Every structure is written in structure tokens, then in C-alpha cells.
Amino acid sequence: MTPPELRYEAAEKRLNVYIHIPFCIKKCSFCYIPVLPAQHVPWSNYLAALKLEASRRAPRFAAGGALVETLYLGGGTPSLLAPGLLAELVGHIRDLLPFGDSATLSMEVHPGPHGLALFQDHLAAGLNRLVICAQTFDSGRLARLGRTHTGEEAAACLKRARQTGFAHLGCELMWGYPDARPLDMAADFSRAVSEGATEVSFQWFNVNPKGFLPDPREQDRLWTMFSLMKEAAVRLGFRQVGAQSFAAAGAAHRHHAINGPGLATTPYGKVLGLGWGAMSHLGGCMESHSGSMDRYLQDPGAGHLAQSIPSDELVWGAFTYGLTVLRSVPGAWMEGPFRQAANGSMLATTEAWQEAGLIQADPQGGMVLTLRGEALLDAYLHASGTSNRGGANPLGPPGGGPDSLPCPG
Ligand code: SF4
């Protein structure tokens, strides 16, 4: 059975819509996302399939009183969409589903030599937030990562998006490169802010194979780098809104349910994923597409798969989501179902993490990350292996239990 406290959001009306554009000009060396080369994209066919999928799936949410809080175009490289197609797509979703007054409509932008006109088109299409996927402002490092843009182009994109009038402007950065110097992370943070970013989030650049933690010296190096970046964030007036994400003081900030660990298992809100390769999380149920792009283009419903999420995975997803996004796992979440999860292996995990100095109890009986935990949690999660469903590794997630909720038809 799904723990009752993890089920309450299933009845929620808030809806997050994720649209996947799985095409890229070139595959970056660090990327694990399945993407297709943009050179051969049948854009109008893909848009037609997306719109058909949305037309088929959205009505049940509209009929149930759903209100869209966030629309997020990710990828892949959604900024490759021609302005006319982007506006058509956003308009189509808006026709199908009611949006809240303060809804954020975001898109990831791959930096390049973009002029002001491109950002004006994004604004005209109805978007009110952009996320510039800069990764770093160090052009040499970008080249080594296989990125197609320079650091200066990333900075110019932030500046132009801001000039265009995007009040909500995110910047996505990576950190923890093996050759990084202690102040590199802080320098990238400061540069993003000076170019106009109102939100900055980091992803850890992993070099360790699954199953192996960075050695103690490497852990200390990561921690030092992270601490220096946090000092810079405080100096610049940014507040921490997630384990590795920050927002300008006074800037509106809304977490996107599609982001962060627990992507598919978070009990927070519902995510309707549209497009080839997109995942939906709908109250304990995960939906996705299987099959080739050709199959999707022929019939976007043909490879549609729905499966319930095992209750142990829900508990694990809620725990990591609480730690990283909410910045606290409420005490109530750590009661019965948590203790029972995977025959007690969740308890073993928390004990091991407490011993490693990653998490600590908060006064309300919940759990929070320590500063060390904020810096190193990604490394521990990666080392534990999210695919470890056996529960044998005390640092890892619990094994899968029986299926919990039946999926809606
Ligand atoms: S542009 Fe983004 S999605 Fe595409 S390969 Fe690079 S990191 Fe992956």
C-alpha cells in the first residue's frame, strides 16, 4: 500500500506539464539523456505528434479541474524550435488546459550566437522564464565537454534575455570538474549573477563510476569548492532554495516538479510529460513512451506505457526530494512507512548518512542535509546507484516492493 502521507498529493489539482524536445546539434560528452541529431528532425511531424498526444491526454486533467502551475520545455534542445512552431505549441497547450495566474512557462536555452530577436520571439510565444544551460563560463572547459558554445556566448545569452524583459532567468551550471580550482564554482556563480541570472542551479559533474564514492581527499575538495560558492551566494544576496539551487532575494521562485532527484517518484504535484522520451508522474503512477521515434510520429499513443511505482521507491523518492528540493524531510514522512521500507534498509541508509555527516535531525523530528551533505549528496546517490533495487547497499535506495497504486486508465 502507498503510505497515506505520500498519497495526499495524488488528489491535488496542481499540474506541471513537461514537454520533451529530444533533439540536439551535437551530443555533449557528459550527457546521459537519449537525444537524436537535430540535423534530420522532421520538425513539423514531431510538432503534429506532440499536439495530437496533448489533445488526447489533456482533457481528462481539464475535466478533473487541474490547474497548470508550470509548463517546462526541456530536452534535448527545445530552443532549436522555430519561433512559429514554439508559439503554436504553447498556444495549443493553453487551449487544452487552464493555467493559474502565476503559472511559469519556462524553456531551456542552449547558448549560441543568439541575437535579441530570438529572445523577443520566446517572450512573444508566451514564455515568462528561460533557463540558460551555460554549464560554465570557461570556454576551454566547454570545448573539452563537447559543447558547441563559448563562455562569452553563454554570458551574452543571459544578458540579452534580461534586456528582452525576462524577469525570471535561470542559469544551469555544472561543478566538480576534476581539474577545477577551489574558486571556480564561486566564479561561475558570480558571473551568472552579474549577467542577470535570478536563479542559479548546479549539477554535479560525475567522474566516479557507479558504486564508488570519491576518495576522502576528493570529497574534501568538493566540499571546499561548494562552501566557497555558498559564501559568494550570500555575498550576492541570493538565498538557497534547494540543495544546489539559489534564487535572488525577492525573486519569485517555483520549484519545477520535473527537476531533481525523485523526478518520477516525488509525491509533489503531478507531472504530465508530453513528447518522445518524456515521463509522466501522476499520483503514484509513471507513464512513458516506449518504442522508436518513427513509431511515436506515426501514433504517439502506440507505445504508451503506464506502471505503478513501487511503494518503497515512493518512500525513497520522497526522502531524497525532501532533502534536496524542500530542504527538509518532514518528521511525519519518517514514521511507519519509512521505517518499514525495504525491510528497514531506509533506516540503515539514514544511519550511514548520519555517520558520514551528510544529514542530521532537525528540531521538528525531520531530517535535513548538513553543508557537507549539500555538497556530497549527489556523489553518494551516484555511488549507491539508483538502479540498485536490491537494497543490499546501506548507502543506497531500498529495493522495490510490490506495486502500490493501480494506474488510471
Ligand atoms: S545539449 Fe543538453 S541534452 Fe543535448 S547532448 Fe548536450 S547536455 Fe545533453
Residues 78 and 210 in one domain: yes
Residues 50 and 173 in one domain: yes
Q: 199, 225, 248: which is the final residue of a domain?
A: 248
In a domain, 61, yes or no: yes
Query: Identity (one letter) of the amino acid at 78?
Result: P
22 C-beta closer than 6 A to ligand 1: no
Instruction: List the chain residues with pLDDT less than 70.
Output: 1-12, 252-269, 283, 342-343, 385-409
Grid coordinates given for 394: 546501506
146 C-beta closer than 6 A to ligand 1: no
Q: In this structure, what are the phi and psi dihedrals at residue 258, rounded to the nearest 5 degrees?
A: -80, -10
Residues 227 and 336 in one domain: no
User: CB neighbours of 250 closer than 8 A, spacing ≥ 6?
Assistant: none
**Cα separation of the two ends of the chain:** 19
Cis geometry, peptide bond prior to residue 76 (ω within 30 degrees of 0): yes
361 C-beta closer than 6 A to ligand 1: no
Q: How many residues does the chain have?
A: 409
Residues 319 and 239 in one domain: no
Residues 29 and 150 in one domain: yes
Please give the tally of structural domains in the chain.
2
For 177, the domain range is 11-248
pTM of the model: 0.89
pLDDT digits (tens, 9 = 90+) for 69-127: 889 999 899 999 999 999 999 999 999 999 999 899 999 999 999 999 999 999 999 99
User: CB neighbours of 371 closer than 8 A, spacing ≥ 6?
Assistant: 223, 226, 227, 230
The full 3-state SS of 87-114, as one line of letters, equals HHHHHHHHHHCCEEEEEEEEEEECCCCC
In a domain, 295, yes or no: no
CA–centroid distance, 104 to ligand 1, in Å, is 23
Residues 62 and 144 in one domain: yes
Residues 240 and 345 in one domain: no
- Nearest ligand 1 atom to the CA of 32 is 8
pLDDT digits (tens, 9 = 90+) for 227-261: 999 999 999 999 998 899 999 987 766 655 444 33
Rounded (10°) angle between helices 151-164 and 116-124:
50
28 C-beta closer than 6 A to ligand 1: yes
Q: Which residue(s) pair with 172 in the sheet?
A: 201
Q: Whose CA is nearest to atom 3 of ligand 1?
A: 76
Residues 329 and 241 in one domain: no
**CATH number (domain holding residue 380):** 1.10.10
Distance from C-alpha of 299 to C-alpha of 301, rounded to nearest angstrom: 5
In a domain, 377, yes or no: yes
Residues 79 and 224 in one domain: yes
**CATH number (domain holding residue 47):** 3.20.20.70
In a domain, 132, yes or no: yes
Long-range contacts of 115-122 (CB under 8 A, 24+ apart): 115/160, 116/160, 116/163, 116/164, 118/79, 118/83, 118/160, 119/160, 119/161, 119/163, 119/164, 119/166, 120/164, 121/83, 121/86, 121/87, 122/79, 122/83, 122/86, 122/161, 122/164, 122/166
In a domain, 274, yes or no: no
Q: Identify the CA nearest to 136 among candidates 211, 254, 28, 44.
A: 28
- The pLDDT of residue 127 is 97
Q: Whose CA is nearest to atom 2 of ligand 1?
A: 76
Residues 337 and 189 in one domain: no
Residues 333 and 240 in one domain: no
